[in-house]
Amino acid sequence: MKWVEAVPVDSKPCGACSLCCKLFDIDWLEAPKPAGKWCPHCKPGAGCKIWQSLPSRCATYYCVWRLDPDLAPIWRPDVARFILSHAHEEAPLAVLVDPAFPDAHRREPYARMLAETARGILEGRGSTLVVFVGQKRTLLFPDAEIPIPDGVQLHEIRIEAQTGAGGRFWRPTFPNH
Ligand code: SF4
Ligand code: SF4
């Protein structure tokens, strides 16, 4: 998982949240770190210890909670225990879950609201949310969460709409490697 830059449209503060300093791969510091491990410069709850010389890529990242003025405080990542991110190079909308709370996105009201978001994206774009918990990846559908096999690239996945007794639903097809 790589962290890429986004343009902020709002100035909601990070407060005590530092979760992006844990959940992303970071390869632009003198000591690269994998997803799920705290950056050595982070003091969780207090922020970045090198804020006076903050790397530009750190200074220009904003999660969806920072970007969307309508997203309520329960979506702040240190409260939700997951990050919603538009600025993820592998997924149009990613849910990066803290591995210490791997079911965080399955709690209510998050599960219901993420399912509604998935339905909206599927109906509009034919893609869906990707959930990352450490190295595990799943596709989130309104009625199911389906694991992505190891080695499959996101751009290789095909998602098709189907109609069943309960109405319209979507399922993925994965390539054979
Ligand atoms: S995850 Fe979002 S709210 Fe938390 S520190 Fe990063 S940008 Fe700020
Ligand atoms: S350098 Fe600072 S802002 Fe960047 S990941 Fe590390 S703790 Fe976070």
pLDDT in tens, 128-153: 999 999 889 999 999 999 999 999 99
Kindly state if the Cβ of 48 falls inside 6 Å of ligand 1: no
Residue 8 falls in which region: left (phi positive, over 0), alpha (psi -120 to 50) or beta: beta
* CA 24-83-95 angle, 5° bins: 90
Question: CA-CA distances (angstroms) from residue 22 to 45, 85, 106, 155, 175?
Answer: 12, 14, 20, 25, 31
Q: Which ligand is nearest to the CA of 5?
A: 1
For 152, the 3-state DSSP assignment is coil
Average pLDDT value for residue range 24-35: 86
Question: CA-CA distances (angstroms) from residue 2 to 26, 91, 123, 160?
Answer: 7, 10, 27, 27
Q: How far is the CA of 58 from the centre of ligand 2 (A)?
A: 6
**Domain positions in the chain:** 63-173
Residue found by looking up tokens 């209510």 in the block: 108
Contact 93, 84 (CB under 8 A): yes
Closest residue (by CA) to atom 1 of ligand 1? 20
| Pocket-forming residues, ligand 2, beta carbon under 6 Å | 21, 26, 29, 39, 41-42, 48, 50, 54-55, 58
Q: How far is the CA of 149 from the centre of ligand 1 (A)?
A: 29
The pLDDT of residue 2 is above 50: no
Closest residue (by CA) to atom 2 of ligand 1? 63
Question: Among 25-34, 86-95, 122-131, where is mean pLDDT lowest?
Answer: 86-95
Please report the pLDDT score of residue 30 as a whole number: 84
Average pLDDT value for residue range 54-67: 88
